[in-house]
Amino acid sequence: MNNFEFFCPTKVLFGKNTISELPKLIDKSHRILMIYGGGSIKKNGVYDQVKKALEGYQLFEFGGIEPNPKYETCMKAVEMIKQENIDFLLAVGGGSTLDGTKFIAAAAKYEGDNAYDAILVREEPVKDALPIADVITLPATGSEMNNGAVISRLATNEKLPFHSDLVFPRFSIIDPQVTFSLPQKQTINGIVDTFVHVMEQYCTYDVNTPLQDDWALGILRTLINEAPKVLAEPNDYEARANIFWCATCGLNYWISLGAVQDWATHMIGHELTAFYGIDHGQSLAIVLPRLLKNQKVSKSKKLAKLAREVFGVNETVDLKAADKAIDNIEEFFNSIGMKTKLSDYEIDSMDAAEKIKDRFNKRNTALGEKGNITAETAFEILKNC
Amino acid sequence: MNNFEFFCPTKVLFGKNTISELPKLIDKSHRILMIYGGGSIKKNGVYDQVKKALEGYQLFEFGGIEPNPKYETCMKAVEMIKQENIDFLLAVGGGSTLDGTKFIAAAAKYEGDNAYDAILVREEPVKDALPIADVITLPATGSEMNNGAVISRLATNEKLPFHSDLVFPRFSIIDPQVTFSLPQKQTINGIVDTFVHVMEQYCTYDVNTPLQDDWALGILRTLINEAPKVLAEPNDYEARANIFWCATCGLNYWISLGAVQDWATHMIGHELTAFYGIDHGQSLAIVLPRLLKNQKVSKSKKLAKLAREVFGVNETVDLKAADKAIDNIEEFFNSIGMKTKLSDYEIDSMDAAEKIKDRFNKRNTALGEKGNITAETAFEILKNC
């Protein structure tokens, strides 16, 4: 096991009707900015629940954070924060709203000219940030229990991550009931996002972390069992709760402490989203199987373990078991209605391979747990997507 | 899944040579009391490592916290804290030292006459506590990542728990190397303690927590695989690291969020320790198998799952599989050198059953996840121990 440091001060309230507990968690002295997305929270009743819980508070609103939250939009929120002397941010929505809020919290306290270049491009440590919290409504990104966010910029077709302990949510409220009304597509995207988060943390090389590996496979087993239930019966509270908790635990790092992580699928997927606008979950489902095939030899031990302990594959040769793991993963994605080819979205794989190769070449990109996924390797992976 | 609230702000530093990072974690302005136990840290080099790391700090010392830390001893530390204006406590040792330190932190800020009665007997909420942190040297109690402690009082042969978010360690340093020199008996006690912590949180009735259950069984699987390695080769770093991380995760509640917990084995075990002075781990290994037999019908679903997924038992009838789970658990304890009968310690089981029945009767005790383990049931369990 590698040395590790772990810290997550976020308080989690999980369960039915937990939104009503907001007043216990925020002091009335705050000037709160409630940040949300495209308005789905107005349709599913979450907006009303939050407003009711925070009656009598100094509550301001900023709507319109997009999926793959845009720098340009975030900066409009920063302006409003300065005008209204806001001192607490409450994200109400999915991972994009929360990621946007994390960036807004840091940008609002950034003293230089260009928060985008400083925080996302030059990756300067965040020195100060407004306190944030969230009512998370989409099981997917795990952003509700970590210190990371991914921000896109329209001007340059870029999508970049940042991390800071200062943007851990003070609390996260997770009421699985709010996911009953999710469009099927978003439920599926979230399940795939969670699955791939686990793969990025588990499927590398072995450094003797048997408990963490067992737990990672435990999330995959649970997802595979619970996914058909929520798709068949969207109002199945227990299945919704289990899927949501899998999503949160998929990226709070409990499964990968002391282990080696990958994240190449995400970095290539981000480019597909940036260039072609396909959903994050969709991009991951396209890249993962081809990336695993490409890296099969190096990842064979973990893939073989996954094949045996998740899919019950009875095959003693690791490389053969690894192939079956990859096939089973793609079949699972397809079985829940997730497509896994660029052609399914009418994207030309050679066009994607060329564009992303060029961008990675310019950045000297070297991805994956061994840093061996260069622009050329990404090209090989993408042309088979 | 039941609603739950989770919070653990402790920063964990895990791995080789992490004690040297102490100066990054404590400000030099503090007047620090280093609290330790019977002096084993002076033999294994931990004392010297801490002193070296904190050179130049205002460092005071209080030694002599016993296994099953005593109220009487803790209050001597409180006296010293007041005399020396101590404002930060650093526990260096095992779970007993850390538990004692948690109580000392709360008692030092308690304004009434009798901290024992207030905090442990009347269970009044702790209103203030000194900040604490730890260098934990024994994989067992999990105290390094939770807000609980168990304190004994000599005067009355009592052993009582308390909880408060104010006594979460600010940080916990876990260097598995410090466990190389542990006496075999303590290693075994710690493995059993961890195993039983997991059982107390897992082995109740099912409320649809598949991920948490999978993770609980993951700790048991890992313990069973790694225990023989540390016993055969005490300097096996990887096995020591895995055992330690199992112990920490055995009681940071990650495996039981939203699940139903038991803790009857611990409460009965505490009485055996209070009356006869046997080690905590030893007491648990005696009580658990007999308690599980007594509660087999009510726990059969979880026991059967455990039999199949941990011990590979091929038995479709739950009650029969449950029996095999209990037998396998006792065999595992015996296989690592842990005895499981009161007679092994020359304690008369009828004497123990009578004494503990009397005490539980006086307290109107009703233990277990269904509150059905009364004084009479405890008597039945103990007479078979």
Q: Give the Cα separation of A224 and A221 in Å (integer).
A: 5
User: If you count residue pairs, one on A and one on B, with CB atoms under 8 Å apart, how many are there?
Assistant: 111
pLDDT at position B127 is 96
CATH 1.20.5.440 fits B182-383, yes or no: no
Summarize pLDDT for B339-385 with one digit per residue, the tens.
Answer: 999 999 999 999 999 999 999 999 899 999 999 999 999 999 999 99
Residue B4, strand partner residues? A14
Q: For chain B, which ranges sit under pLDDT 50?
A: none
Judge whether A7 is closer than 8 Å to chain B, CB to CB: yes
| Burial environment of residue B234 by CB neighbours within 10 A (0 to 12, 13 to 18, 19 or more) | middle
- Specify the DSSP element, H or E, that contains A146: none
Q: Using CB atoms, which residue from A4, A210, A254 is nearest to B225?
A: A210
Q: Using CB atoms, which residue from A15, A242, A257 is nearest to B210?
A: A242
> What mean pLDDT comes out for the span A116-126?
94
> What mean pLDDT comes out for the span A31-57?
96
> What mean pLDDT comes out for the span A333-342?
98
CATH 1.20.1090.10 fits A184-383, yes or no: yes
Summarize pLDDT for A73-96 with one digit per residue, the tens.
Answer: 999 999 999 999 999 999 999 999
pLDDT at position B155 is 85
Q: Give the Cα separation of A302 and A295 in Å (integer).
A: 12
| Burial environment of residue A9 by CB neighbours within 10 A (0 to 12, 13 to 18, 19 or more) | middle
ipTM of the complex: 0.96
Q: Give the Cα separation of B294 and B310 in Å (integer).
A: 21
Q: Tell me the domain boundaries of chain B.
A: 11-178, 182-383
Class of domain A11-178: alpha beta
Judge whether A45 is closer than 8 Å to chain B, CB to CB: no
Judge whether A5 is closer than 8 Å to chain B, CB to CB: yes
Judge whether A316 is closer than 8 Å to chain B, CB to CB: no
pTM of the model: 0.97
Kindly report the three-state secondary structure assignment for every residue of chain B: CCCEEECCCCEEEECCCHHHHHHHHCCCCCEEEEECCCCHHHHCCHHHHHHHHCCCCEEEEECCCCCCCEHHHHHHHHHHHHHHCCCEEEEEECHHHHHHHHHHHHHHCCCCCCHHHHHHHCCCCCCCCCCEEEEECCCCCCHHHCCEEEEEEHHHCEEEEEECHHHCCCEEEECHHHHCCCCHHHHHHHHHHHHHHHHHHHCCCCCCCHHHHHHHHHHHHHHHHHHHHHHHCCCCHHHHHHHHHHHHHCCCCCCCCCCCCCCHHHHHHHHHHHHHCCCHHHHHHHHHHHHHHHCCCCCHHHHHHHHHHHCCCCCCCHHHHHHHHHHHHHHHHHHCCCCCCHHHHCCCHHHHHHHHHHHHHHHCCCECCCCCECHHHHHHHHHCC
Q: Closest Cα of chain B to A209: distance in Å?
A: 7
Q: Closest Cα of chain B to A26: distance in Å?
A: 16
pLDDT at position A367 is 96
Residue A157: pLDDT band by 50, 70, 90 thresholds? confident
How many Å is the Cα radius of gyration of chain A? 20
Q: Which of B6, B195, B229 should be substituted to probe chain A, the one whose Cβ sees the most A Cβ atoms within 10 Å?
A: B6
